[in-house]
Structure 1
Amino acid sequence: MAFITYVLVAGLALGTQDRFSPDLLGLQASSALAWLTLEVLAILLSLYLVTVNTDLTTIDLVAFLGYKYVGMIGGVLMGLLFGKTGYYLVLGWCCVSIFVFMIRSLRLKILAEAAAEGVPVRGARNQLRMYLTMAVAAAAPPAAVPGCHR
C-alpha cells in the first residue's frame, strides 16, 4: 500500500510543479519497483553468500524494505508544504528511523538462527552476520531518496 501511495503522492508533487505526465508517473513507479527488486535480490544473494540460514522469506524482505516508502511519502508531502527544508528534515529523520528499525528487526531474524545452531555469541560467524545486518540496514535509507522533490 505504501508503494502505491508513494507513486500517487509523487504524481501529486509532479503536478504541483507543472511537470506531470503519465509517462513520468510510470517512470517513477517503474524505477521504484526496480530499486525494490534490486534490494531484495542483493539481500538474498548476501544471505546466500554468507550462508546464513534464516526463516526470512522474500515476502518478509519486501515487507521490511517497503517501510521506506512511508518515509518517502512523508518527505514528499512535507516538501510540498514546507519546501526543501521540510523535505530534507523529514527525509533525514525517516532515514535514521528506518536504519534503527531494520537493525532491530533483522538482527532478531538473522541472529536468532545462530543461537539455535549453538554458534558462540562472539564468534566470527556471528560477527559476519551482524555486519550483514548493518549493511542491509544502511542500504535501505539511501534508496529512499525519490527523484521528484522540489
Structure 2
Amino acid sequence: MAYHSGYAAHGSKHRARPAPDSPPLFDDTSAGYSGQPGGYPVPGADVAFNVNHMLGDPVANVAMAYGSSIASQGKDLMHKELHRFVSVNKLKYFFAVDTAYVAKKLGLLVFPYTHQNWELQYSCDVPLPPRQDLNAPDLYIPTMAFITYVLLAGMALGIQQRFSPEVLGLCASTALVWVMMEVLALLLAFYLATMHSELSTFHLLAYSGYKYVGMILSVLTGLLFGSDGYYVALAWTSSALMYFIVRSLRTAAQSPDSVGGPLPRQRLQLYLPLGAAAFQPLIVYWLTFHLVR
C-alpha cells in the first residue's frame, strides 16, 4: 500500500524530514540586530534613531520651536490673568503675621474697648504688615477660624447624633456664602456712596471673617454650659465685634478728600460702618444657634 512521501507508514512514531530546499515562510531580519542575543533590538536604538531624525529634520525643529513659543505665551497669559484678579503680593501682605500678632489680635477681638489708637501705620506711604501693626487686617485669623468653626460644628453635630457629611457641608458653605454676600454688599455700598478709600476686597473679607472667632467662642460656651452660656457668650462676642467693626471700618474708610467735605458724605462714612456692624449679631446667631441644643 502506497503512502504520501511526506509521511511514514501508518503507525510510525516518526515523521519524515522536510525537504532541505523548502523556502522559508518569513524573511530573516535578525541580522540587523546581531549585537543583541536572541534577535531582539538593542534597547533605545529605535528611540535614538527617531530623536536624531527629528532633530535633523528642519520641519520638526520649526514645529518644536513654535510649540514652545505657544506654551510660553499661554503661560504668560495665564499669569497675567491670575494677577489681574488676585495679586499674589497683596495676598502675602494679609498673611504676614506672627505668634505675637495673632495673640494680641485675638485679645482685641474679644475685648476691644480699651484700645485707643485705631489708625493704620504707614512707612513711606506703604502700610505696615500685620505683624508690625495691630490695626492692620489679616486673612490668617479668619481662615484658621473658619476651619476651626467647621470642625467644631462637626463635633457639635456628632455629640447631638445629627452628624452627616451633607449637613456639615451645608453648614460650611452657608458660613462662606454669608461672608461673600456681606463683602459684596459693602463693595456695592461704597460704590453707590462714591466713597474713595484704601479698602480693597481683601480688607473687607478680613473684617467680615473676624466674626468666626466670636462664633467659635459662642459654640464652645454653649457646648460646655448649655443654652444659657451660649446666649451670654453670643451677647458678649457680638457687642465686641460690633465695636471692633465700627472703629476699624470708620477709620479705614476715611479718605483724604472726604475730610472737611460735605455733610452727607461724612454721614455716609458713619452710617456704613454702623450698618455693617448691626448685621453681625444676626449673622452670628443664624450660623450658630442650630449647633447648641
Q: Confirm or deny a common fold (TM above 0.5).
A: yes
Distance in 1 (alpha carbons) for counterparts of 2:282 and 2:258: 35
Query: How big is the shift at 1:95?
Result: 0.4
SS class of match (1:70)? helix
Residue 20 of structure 1 is matched in structure 2 by 163
- 2: distance between equivalents of 1:76 and 1:133? 26
Q: Which residue of 1 aligns with 2:277?
A: 137
For 1:2, the equivalent position in structure 2 comes to 145
Q: CA deviation at 1:137?
A: 1.4
C-alpha separation in 2, matches of 1:85 and 1:26: 27
Give the greater-gyration-radius structure (CA). Answer: 2
| Shift of residue 110, structure 1, vs aligned partner | 1.1
More helix by share: 1
- Give the distance between the partners of 2:168 and 2:262, measured in 1 at CA: 48
Whether contact under 8 Å (2:219, 2:292) holds in the other structure is yes
Q: For residue 74 of structure 1, report the CA deviation from its aligned partner.
A: 0.6
- Whole-Å separation in 2 of the counterparts to 1:32 and 1:44: 19
Unaligned runs of 5+ in 2: 1-143
Displacement of 1:14 in angstroms is 0.5
User: In 1, Cα distance between the equivalents of 2:259 and 2:244?
Assistant: 25
Q: Deviations over 1:34-60 (max 9, x none)?
A: 111110100100010101101111111
Deviations 1:55-77 (A, max 9, x none): 11111111111111111001111
- Determine helix, strand or coil for the equivalent of 1:141: helix
Q: Whose relative contact order is higher, 1 or 2, with alpha carbons under 8 Å and at least 6 apart?
A: 1
Report the number of matched residues: 147
User: Are the counterparts in 1 of residues 214 and 237 from structure 2 also a CA contact under 8 Å?
Assistant: yes
Letter of the 1:31 counterpart: T
Q: Which amino acid aligns with 1:96?
A: S
Structure-2 separation of matches of 1:39 and 1:45? 10
**Separation (CA, whole Å) in 2 of partners of 1:130 and 1:118:** 12
Aligned to 1:44: 187
* 1:47-58 paired onto structure 2 within 5 Å: 47-58=190-201
Cα distance change on mapping 1:124 and 1:28 into 2, 3 Å: same
Q: CA RMSD in A?
A: 1.3
1:127 aligns to what?
267
* Residue type at the aligned position of 2:149: Y
Equivalent of residue 243 in structure 2, options 77, 88, 100: 100
Q: 1:98 to 1:121 in 2, by over 3 A?
A: farther
Cα distance between partner residues in 2 of 1:40 and 1:118: 22
* Alpha carbons of structure 1 residues 53 and 15: separation in structure 2 relative to 1, 3 Å: same
CA distance in 2, matches of 1:94, 1:121: 35
| Alignment partner of 1:79 is 2:79 | no
Runs of 4+ in structure 1 displaced over 6 angstroms?
none
Consecutive unaligned residues of structure 1, counting only runs of 5 or more, are none
Q: 2:213 matched to which residue of 1?
A: 70
